[in-house]
Amino acid sequence: MVKVLVDEFGIKSGYMTTIHAYTGDQRLQDAPHKDLRRARAAASNMVPTSTGAAKAIGLVVPEASGKLDGIAVRVPLLTGSLVDLSVFLEKQPTVEELNAAMKKAANETMKYETDEIVSSDIVNSTFGSIFDSALTTVKPTPEGNLYKLFSW
């Protein structure tokens, strides 16, 4: 998703929230942990925490390096994740143009989805990313358009 945005529209800056299943680093019951939020029972709490995803994107897509930051929210699911990406772009495309670029880029690793799916729909998917076109939005601001895109 980020590679398509960089190539087609240019990224000025952005912030991502990764919403994903709890991990083995978390406690199943409230118990000691160096991170007080991760000390809470993973299966019954949404846990805001740090993520390395934004920095990792900069390694894979060098043109995005330093332009994105983010946070993770771990939720009581067994598996699955959703990326909520808010970005300011160099160009000012419409929602339709954004979705068209994602559809054109779809391949064996990134699926373009039009159905209104939920987390259980992506379990066992062979795609590395499922772009959720139904959730793409744009909000005009004094600084330019703020775009919100989602990928499972």
Mean pLDDT in runs of 10 for the chain (152 residues)?
98 97 89 90 93 89 96 95 98 98 98 98 97 99 97 98
Residue range 2-151, CATH number: 3.30.360.10
- Find, among 26, 141, 12, 150, the residue nearest to 81 by Cα: 150
pLDDT of residue 55: 84
Task: Report domain extents, the chain.
Answer: 2-151
The C-alpha atoms of residue 45 and residue 110 are separated, in whole angstroms, by: 30
**Token pair recorded at residue 79:** 């598996």
Calculate the alpha carbon distances from 139 to 18, 146, 151 in Å.
Answer: 21, 5, 19
pLDDT of residue 52: 87
pLDDT of residue 25: 82
Torsion 104-106-122-152 (CA) sign:
negative
* pTM of the model as a whole: 0.92
